[in-house]
Amino acid sequence: MKPKGIILIVDDEETIRLSVREFLDAQGYEAIAAGSCEEALEKMDTFMPDLILLDLRLPNINGVELIEKIKEKDPNALMVVMTGYGSVDSAVEVMRLGAYDYLEKPFKLDRLRSVVEKALRRQGLRQEVLEIKEKQWTFDEESDGIIIGNSPQMKEIYSLIKQVAKSSSTTVLIQGESGTGKELVARAVHRLSARKSGRFVDINCAALTESLLEAELFGYEKGAFTGAATAGKPGLFEIADKGTVFLDEIGEMGVLLQAKLLRILQERQFKRVGGIQDIKIDVRIIASTNRNLEEEIASGNFRKDLYYRLKVLPIYVPPLRERREDIMLLVKYFIHKYNNEFGKNICDIPPDTERILLEYGWPGNIRELKNVVERGVLIANGSALSPKYVANISVGKKESESLAGITVDGNTDCVSSDGLDARSLAFMEKQHIENVLKETSWRRTEAARVLGINRTTLYNKIKEYGIAQ
């Protein structure tokens, strides 16, 4: 029968080595013992252990030095240190250097079994995530730029990105719902293009008023407007020369500003706000939107000539509900990320939790999934991501269903699919914002006017509540 895992025991006391080895063998593991640092490093090469139990005090070497040597040999090695009474501070210190946990001698066998099982479950998830990463598409090793997905739709996107990146000047239009990862696709195009040594400058067109957006993009001369009395400022197009400008949510850009952008695309030059001199630039423009720009053209909110100028190389990023085979890959990736960030040990996803995650419609897409996993890992106790930790999403409901379990009596919790109490002001505010956005066909400037707030506040509310078109 295949062993549950290979465990290397490193301790200079023969009695401890043999007793721990005998116990672990009886538990179904393959246990190997070493009495010195040199012997341990040799056996690592031979057996490639899944877990290393090591004494903190060995002849001629201390725990810190041994951990460093092990990490040099295998950066992903999983270690649990064994320490005598009174040396717990030292154990905590080596844990900061990479050890997973510690056992204080003398320890009970139940405690040993518990620590070993927990460590190997964590290592199992870690190994699975490493395998996920190896099979996924990494476009930037330094910044951990990785796009997760094995679905046919994502494989097609990987192919498109590579093709688009070959042309370093042609404009790109990325379309898809909010939270699908459009910015990640834009960064991948930049990093794989000949412009990768230049700057990648991004700006959200929905987060600024038209005048502020114009000043940010084009810069301004001294005295161009109130507040510009002391000095001028270069815009993002100047800053990104030889690089890439990413215009997120370009559907929110005003028509007058669209005309200025069209000139840049056609002539590769522009004037600062308040300026008279033409400034030549060499940038690639990548734009994204979650809106149907053809409908915006029909309603007079978007220029047809700009649309066709942008849509030279279009990329459509599908919503998560259209690529459900990628959901659990993303869940495991985010669990591993937040395990490390929060010092947790979530390594088990029960079938009921998996069913909830797979059946939910994910209207907020990957951004919503990431937030749900982050919250679940943060509040979870133990090693399992139990269903209750993801209960803030609508269990088994389609994305079109906005409420779950709402009643007027006090026996059932009045909780919406996004976790808001249906009796709360936040819930009512979200519902009202959604209604106004629908009434104005998602024209955010108009919706902000109706609501009596500015566009930046509206944008923040949309992001806060995860409102998707």
- What is the Cα–Cα distance from 229 to 383, expressed in whole angstroms? 59
Residues 252 and 193 reside in one and the same domain: yes
Residues 381 and 254 reside in one and the same domain: no
Residues 431 and 392 reside in one and the same domain: no
- What is the Cα–Cα distance from 390 to 376, expressed in whole angstroms? 6
Residue 231 has what pLDDT? 64
Residue positions counted in the chain:
469
| Residue 309, number of CB atoms within 10 A of its CB | 17
Tell me the average pLDDT across 102-123. Answer: 84
On the 0-12 / 13-18 / 19+ scale of CB atoms within 10 A, 339 is buried
Q: Give the CB-side neighbour count of residue 336, counting CA atoms within 13 A.
A: 19
Residues 32 and 123 reside in one and the same domain: yes
Encoded tokens for 107: 């320890």
Domain of residue 113: give its range.
Answer: 6-134
Residues 100 and 206 reside in one and the same domain: no
Residues 129 and 33 reside in one and the same domain: yes
Scan for tokens 């936040």, then name that residue.
426
> Taking Cα atoms as reference points, which of 87, 93, 37 lies closest to residue 61?
37
Higher pLDDT, 387 or 132: 387
Encoded tokens for 18: 């043999």
Domain-ending residue, one of 273, 288, 318: 318
Return the CATH number at 457: 1.10.10.60
Residues 261 and 167 reside in one and the same domain: yes
- What torsion, rounded to 10 degrees, do the Cα atoms 441, 445, 450, 453 define? 140
Domain-ending residue, one of 353, 370, 401: 401
Residue 248 has what pLDDT? 95
Residues 90 and 201 reside in one and the same domain: no
pLDDT digits (tens, 9 = 90+) for 419-467: 555 545 667 778 888 888 888 878 887 787 777 777 777 877 887 777 8
109 domain residue, yes or no: yes
Residues 456 and 377 reside in one and the same domain: no
Higher pLDDT, 85 or 210: 210
Residues 391 and 296 reside in one and the same domain: no
Residues 352 and 445 reside in one and the same domain: no
On the 0-12 / 13-18 / 19+ scale of CB atoms within 10 A, 307 is buried
Return the CATH number at 344: 1.10.8.60
Counted domains in the chain: 4
Q: Are 297 and 304 in contact (CB under 8 A)?
A: yes
Q: Are 80 and 100 in contact (CB under 8 A)?
A: yes
Query: DSSP class of residue 416?
Result: E
Residues 165 and 306 reside in one and the same domain: yes
